[in-house]
């Protein structure tokens, strides 16, 4: 699913962000994202490169992941 965040089609990227944000409501999904190698740095790079609305979606997703990492540590 993370690969879809870099798809050429904007509609695909929008849908991928929306799906991951929705799925990130669950601890298991957030933990899986955090445990995936380089996922947090990749999300940050994508959020910086994206345009306004999509950038915000990336930051929302990244925030959910960071909150899990903070609660586990």
Per-residue confidence (pLDDT) for residue 69, from 0 to 100: 53
Per-residue confidence (pLDDT) for residue 73, from 0 to 100: 44
| Residue 9: pLDDT band with limits 50, 70, 90 | very high
pLDDT in tens, 23-57: 998 888 888 888 888 888 889 999 899 888 889 99
* Averaged pLDDT score across all residues of the chain: 86
Please spell the DSSP secondary structure of the chain, one letter per residue: -GGGGG-SSHHHHHHHHHHHHHHTTSHHHHHHHHHSTTHHHHHHHHHHHS-HHHHHHHHHHHHHHHHHHHHH-
The pTM of this model reads: 0.80
């Amino acid at each position: 699913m993370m690969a879809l965040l870099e798809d050429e089609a904007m509609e695909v990227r929008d849908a991928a962000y929306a799906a991951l944000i929705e799925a990130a409501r669950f601890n298991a999904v957030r933990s899986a994202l955090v445990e995936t190698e380089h996922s947090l740095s990749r999300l940050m790079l994508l959020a910086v490169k994206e345009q306004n609305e999509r950038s915000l979606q990336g930051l929302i997703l990244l925030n959910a992941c960071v909150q899990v990492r903070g609660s586990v540590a």
